[in-house]
Homo-oligomer: A and B are copies of this chain.
Amino acid sequence: MAPDAPLPPGSVIGILGGGQLGRMLAMAAAEMGFRVHVFAPPGDNPATDVAHASTLAAWDDFAALDAFAAAVDAITYEFENIPVATAEFLASRKPLRPGVRALAVAQDRLNEKTLAQDLGIAVPLFRPVDAAAELAEARTFVGHTGRPAILKTRRLGYDGKGQAVIRSDADAAAAWPAIGGVPAILEEMIPFTREISVLVARGADGTVRVFDVPENRHRHGILDTSTVPAAVTPGLARRAEAIGRRIAEELGYVGLLAVELFVEGEGDDAKLLFNEIAPRVHNSGHWTTDACLVSQFEQHIRAVAGWPLGDPRRHSDVVMTNLIGADIDAWPALAAEPGARLHLYGKAESRPGRKMGHVNRIRPRSG
């Protein structure tokens, strides 16, 4: 087989990470006739329930990684906090898609914001903060922008964790310990009218396909709903798509990339500002499973396997709602709701803030 030939059915896709994203990727791969091998640290790994094979080992267990690489034909990941050394080790053995660079960029807010800025994409004002003393400048920063600021850890932040809002000197003093005293970036807080995300897929051949842009609402820092179509103009949606495409192309990206954007203002004149990227399938793309013929999960596996990308057309309108923690206790009512499709992740235990499932409510397409 030529090195760039698409992987034939029966090939083995390796997935790094055993959570719900890995689980949904594994099922998409199985639908395409692939076998899946999950690699994840020991713990509650619901992806292993639907995988042909699993290796439970630490990210720095290089003997286990070596055996895993030998057992698979291509490798992808379900989350971006895999150590770069692990990714590099695997990439030297089998195709790793998306590649190491996307991972390295996405792991550090300073890197990703700098990349966007370098590409001419509008970004909230930001500056790196490496010590408590530097936060004294926050007041100047706030004064300069006329907006509150937000301090975010550069690494390992997700679902609103590792963030502190600064509106006053007292906030500034509290923010550094609040985020754990680690390297951070200080950003102006955008008074956005809405948040949207671009779900852009780029194939191994460079083809780019973009799903319709969802509008995302958060609750307690965690995604609550994604609604499609978003209440944005076609012109704005096209500008958002162009941003996603530019980043995917710059990164030589192969797979599904999510780009989160702030919308400031309304209509065609609304401003789009870069927030962050996720080099993987994304919670704000879960609606695609029930509103499109090809889901974000299948689209990602297609790219990883070197297949042509699928048709991202949307056949229905949809609102995706996350089930966080005890929200899952409503499953009997959700199971009985017409027009709703329930997706549960098979996690052993429900904890506050833990993503346990989601529900897609679909309606006939409005236009």
Residues of A within 8 A of B (CB): 6, 8-10, 23, 26-27, 30-36, 49-52, 290, 293-294, 302, 307-308, 310-311, 313, 315-316, 328, 331-332, 335-336, 338-346, 348, 357, 362, 364
Contacts and interface: CB of A to CB of B under 8 A. Distances in A.
Most buried by B among A8, A51, A344: A344
Contacts of A311: 338-340
Nearest to A33: B344
B9 A331 contact: yes
B346 A30 contact: yes
Nearest 4 A-B pairs (CB), nearest first? Answer: A33-B344, A308-B336, A49-B52, A311-B338
Nearest to A24: B31
B315 A10 contact: no
Contact of A346 (B26, B35, B307, B328): B35
A308 B335 contact: yes
B315 A9 contact: no
Contacts of A336: 308
B328 A9 contact: yes
A50 B23 CA distance: 10
Given A27-B27, A315-B316, A315-B364, 6 more contacts: A6-B335, A9-B357, A10-B348, A26-B50, A293-B341, A315-B362
A362 B294 CA distance: 11
A182 to B, nearest CB: 36
Contacts of A10: 346, 348
Nearest to A305: B335
Contacts of A31: 27, 343-344
Nearest to A341: B293
B293 A307 contact: no
18 contacts: A6-B332, A8-B331, A9-B328, A9-B331, A9-B357, A10-B346, A27-B30, A30-B346, A33-B331, A35-B49, A49-B51, A50-B50, A50-B52, A302-B335, A308-B335, A315-B315, A315-B316, A315-B362
